[in-house]
Amino acid sequence: MGSQTLYDEDILLWSEQQAEAIRQLGRSRRHRPNELDIENVAEEIESVGRSELAAVESYLRLILVHLAKLSVDPGSPAARHWRSEIVAFEADMRARYSPSMRQRIDLDRIWEAVRRQILEGAEQPDDLASLLPQPTPVRPEELLDDPIDITALVARLRTGAALKGD
């Protein structure tokens, strides 16, 4: 029971490899049943990996939202709650993260969605915009490598905002 499979280690890569194997089987086998819908079966298997990637990106967005809130309003009564949420989202993200996802995650795209979300909900978005740097000053490894250093990332966001404001 001790050996892990690619399925256990990297669901995204596994799903892509399995889908390709099914497609090859469909191209090479002469006597496959007519009712076997190779292309849609392959698509469904690939969607397993894409779904996990989307979940990881969603957790990263939630983490960045809370980091941004801490960055722009560190004295908020909700600050402890935001930190707690980051820890929970990180745990959920890690449960679904696979190594092959790293190069597919577009952190700047996620950060832009975070900025838009925060600015749309702000009472004075023009004042707040300068506190949320573009592009994100956070590097992917700071979110994907264990563990997330909340204090360092909040400081990075603040420094990035100060540099952009100069």
Per domain, the residue ranges of the chain are: 52-165
Can you give the pTM of this predicted structure? 0.88
Give, in order, the Cα–Cα distances in Å from 144 to each of 93, 105, 110.
9, 10, 14
Q: What is the pLDDT of residue 84?
A: 98
Spatial separation of the C-alpha atoms in residues 127 and 116, rounded to whole Å: 14
Burial (CB < 10 A; 0-12, 13-18, 19+), residue 29, is exposed
End-to-end CA distance of the chain: 57
Q: What is the pLDDT of residue 3?
A: 64
CATH topology for the 52-165 domain: Malate Synthase G; Chain: A; Domain 4 (1.20.1220)
Q: Choose between 27 and 83: higher pLDDT.
A: 83
Instruction: Using the predicted structure, report yes or no on whether residue 31 has a pLDDT greater than 80.
Output: no
pLDDT band for 1, please (50, 70, 90 cuts): very low
Q: What is the pLDDT of residue 164?
A: 54
Per mean pLDDT, which range of 24-33, 90-99, 130-139 is the poorest? Answer: 24-33
User: Which tens digits make up the pLDDT trace of 54-102?
Assistant: 999 999 999 999 999 999 999 999 999 999 999 999 999 999 999 999 9
Mean pLDDT in residue range 20-43:
82
Percent of the chain with pLDDT over 70: 91
